[in-house]
Structure formats: structure tokens, C-alpha cells
Amino acid sequence: MPVNLSSRPVLLDGATGTWLQDHGLDDGGSGELWNVERPDVIRALHRAYAEAGSQLLTTNTFGGTRPRLEMHGLGERVHELSEAGARLAREVADAHDLLVAGDVGPTGELMAPLGTMDEAEAQAIFAEQIRGLVDGGADLILIETLSDLAEASAAVAAAHEVAPDLPVLVTLSFDTNLRTMMGVRPGDAVRALAEAGATGVGANCGRGPEEMETIVAEMVQARPEGVLLVAQSNAGLPEVSGDTFVYTVGPDELGAHARRLVDLGVDVVGGCCGSTPAHVRAMADQLAVGV
């Protein structure tokens, strides 16, 4: 039977952008377009993580909201590209009895009063993408790398609007001062997003395992009963090596980090930027999941 969120810990996958860049996506390209133009590469991405031990496969749709796609002249293809991304992940997940996390990233727009986007507009933008993810077969919605609680709450509301029966996980990204770009503290994020109706709350991206563990420790103290905790650390920070970037944390170190996160109380663990199937395999070995 497929894994479910009550079987803890649950292992997410690793970086999508790192994989796509390694397979030829340039910095100015739309990874979401590959869901229809290079589907075999996206299938291979999902298979690599499934075979490494991931229990949740994340759709290749991080930049799939209308404002993000409009940067590439693809604003009218929101539903198409998100549905295609979910169907590709669904295909691989079904072959391995796994779940699909429909991935939603930030809009890239500033919320009022710093910007012009209000919560109703943000909710409509997120709902448009989430409809595509649900139509493609996502089992849950993963909203990640947010920094503004108003935007995150709008995304949660959109998920409840479109798919009220699906779990919703939300992760924010924190900097070295243990605040998001908009000044949100880890404990405040957990409390606010739990109140907004998120199934799970946590952190992703960031500067590496050590800071992620500090952030998680604060979240554990603030977590309301019944709310899942989610953590996906970068594989350290990128360093220049010749003409490429190399991340500083290897698979064994990230695997040990995953074990410490679960010991702290994290329920759903994965990797973020720089993490690869090798990193996920090490995490699976440490957590004795997916094997």
C-alpha cells in the first residue's frame, strides 16, 4: 500500500532545480516547460528519487504560478504545465506505491503594504495553479520557500478552496538571523499557519543543516498538537569549483542530519538545493524508510 502521512517519518525527495541544471536547463529557462517539452527527463528525475527511497515525489512546478510563468511568456499555460507536472510524478509514484506532492512556490510578488498584491489576489493566483496540480493527480499540496505569512496563508486558503480534502504542507525559508526575508520567526510561522489550517508547517532551503536544526528546535517548542513538522535543508552552500558550483554537504552528512531532525520531532524530511538522489539514499538509510 502507498505510504501515508501517518507513517512517520516520511521521506520527501531532494532538489529539482539542481537536477534540471545538471541536465541542461539554463538560468533563464522555465523548468516547468520541460513537463511538456522534455517529459522523459522529468520522469527520470522522479524515478531516481523513487529508487533512492523517497516516499513523496514533488512535482516539477515550483515556478508554476501565473506571475512566475509570465516571466517566460507562459502565463496562459498555468493549468497545462501544472497538470502535466503532476501527471508525470503520478505515473512514477504509482509504479512505486508512493505519494505525489503538488509543488507551489512563491508568486514573486510583494504583498501589500510593501507591494500591491492583496490576499484575495494571491489566493486566486495560487488556486489557479493548484487546480492543475489536483487535476494531474496530486495527493497533497506542498507550498514551499515562502517568506510572508500573508502570502503563505493565502496559499493555504487556495488549497482548501480547490481541494478541501487534501493535506497541505507549508515551509518558509529562513536566513542566518533565523528570520524570513519578511522577518517571520520560526515559532510564529508554526502558530500562524497551523491556525490558517495547514496540516504541516516547517522550513526549507536556508544555509545548511546546522541552522535548520536550530530553526526546527524553535518550531518544536511552538507546534500545536496534531500539526506535522517539515524540514528540507540545502546540502550546505554552493562553492565555485572550476566553472561549476559544488554544494558543501555530502550525502552521509545530510543523512545524519535527517536522523537528528527526526529525533528533534520532525515528521516529514527531505532535501533542498544541492541535494541529489545520493543524498536521499543516505537519508533513507539513516531513517530506515523506503527500503
Which residue ranges are tagged as binding site for Zn(2+)?
A: 205, 272-273
What does the CA dihedral 250, 252, 257, 262 come to, rounded to 10 degrees?
A: 140
- Using alpha carbons, select from 15, 16, 54, 41 the residue that is nearest to residue 282: 54
Give dist(CA 135, CA 79) in Å, integer.
Answer: 9
CA-based torsion, 113, 148, 127, 77: positive or negative: positive
Q: Are 53 and 281 in contact (CB under 8 A)?
A: yes
> Among the residues of 11-118, which ranges form H helices?
17-22, 34-37, 39-52, 66-70, 78-96
Annotated binding site: 205, 272-273
* Under 8 Å between Cβ of 126 and 65: yes
Residue type, 206: G
